């Protein structure tokens, strides 16, 4: 099966399983989405949502977190991994937004990636999910699935993003990255499918017999 047919089959299956998709991180506005994406590094979306549901009712603007300060932010998010580093980033990020952008989240990759604690993946999520700009955020899970499905060679998340953008039409990027995340969590799990058992893996590689060891990001 060539890549064109493979891509077509993957899209058909993803649209069948997830015809409609929602943003997994709960948020109140663009700023809280940005904070939640930052918090989700090395942490599950479920854990982030459990923590932020007690925060965003009261604190949902950069000004709120500037007033709180680092130590109080730490207390609010202490059940999340590397919470001290994340609290520092959230505080500095909020301060920058207040001082430089009048409390608004900027709408370009360049400006977002200059913010404290914000990398390309985080910026891509905000650009796609908040502003509707075509982007293909690639995390370690999408990186793994793209390898299993034969869409990339697995050298890096940067390479995987480039490869996926070449294979899939731009108008589908925003929906696709969410569909892939949901599918991976439910059917093509890291320690379950191993590139052998889920519908997409078995469709793309019907003759694969041995577990596929993917390259880490």
Q: Active site residue: 6, 86, 139, 175, which one?
A: 139
Q: If 0-12 CB within 10 Å is exposed, 13-18 middle and 19+ buried, where does residue 24 land?
A: middle
Give whole-number Cα distances, 4 to 21, 39, 73, in Å: 24, 36, 48
> Is there a contact between 117 and 95 (Cβ–Cβ < 8 Å)?
no
Q: Which of 67, 96, 104, 68 is nearest to 77 (CA)?
A: 68
| 170 is an active site residue | no
Q: Which of 79, 87, 80, 165 is nearest to 120 (CA)?
A: 165
| 139 is an active site residue | yes
Q: Active site residue: 6, 86, 121, 175, which one?
A: 121
Would you give the distance in Å from CA 124 to the centre of its chain?
Answer: 8
Q: Which residues are catalytic?
A: 121, 139
């Amino acid at each position: 099966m060539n890549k064109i047919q493979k891509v077509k089959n993957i899209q058909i299956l993803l649209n069948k399983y997830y015809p409609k998709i929602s943003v997994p991180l709960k948020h109140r506005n663009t700023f809280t989405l940005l904070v939640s994406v930052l918090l989700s590094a090395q942490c599950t979306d479920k854990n982030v949502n459990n923590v932020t549901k007690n925060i965003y009712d009261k604190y949902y603007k950069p000004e709120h977190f500037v007033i709180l300060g680092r130590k109080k932010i730490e207390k609010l998010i202490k059940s999340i991994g590397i919470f001290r580093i994340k609290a520092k980033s959230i505080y500095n990020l909020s301060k920058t937004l207040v001082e430089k952008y009048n409390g608004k989240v900027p709408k370009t990759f360049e400006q977002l990636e200059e913010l404290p604690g914000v990398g390309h993946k985080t910026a891509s999520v905000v650009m796609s999910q908040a502003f509707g700009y075509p982007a293909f955020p690639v995390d370690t899970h999408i990186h793994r699935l793209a390898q299993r499905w034969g869409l990339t060679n697995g050298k890096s998340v940067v390479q995987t993003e480039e490869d996926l953008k070449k294979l899939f039409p731009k108008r589908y990027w925003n929906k696709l990255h969410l569909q892939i995340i949901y599918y991976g969590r439910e059917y093509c799990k890291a320690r379950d499918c191993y590139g052998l058992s889920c519908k997409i893996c078995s469709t793309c590689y019907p003759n694969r017999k041995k577990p596929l060891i993917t390259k880490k990001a």
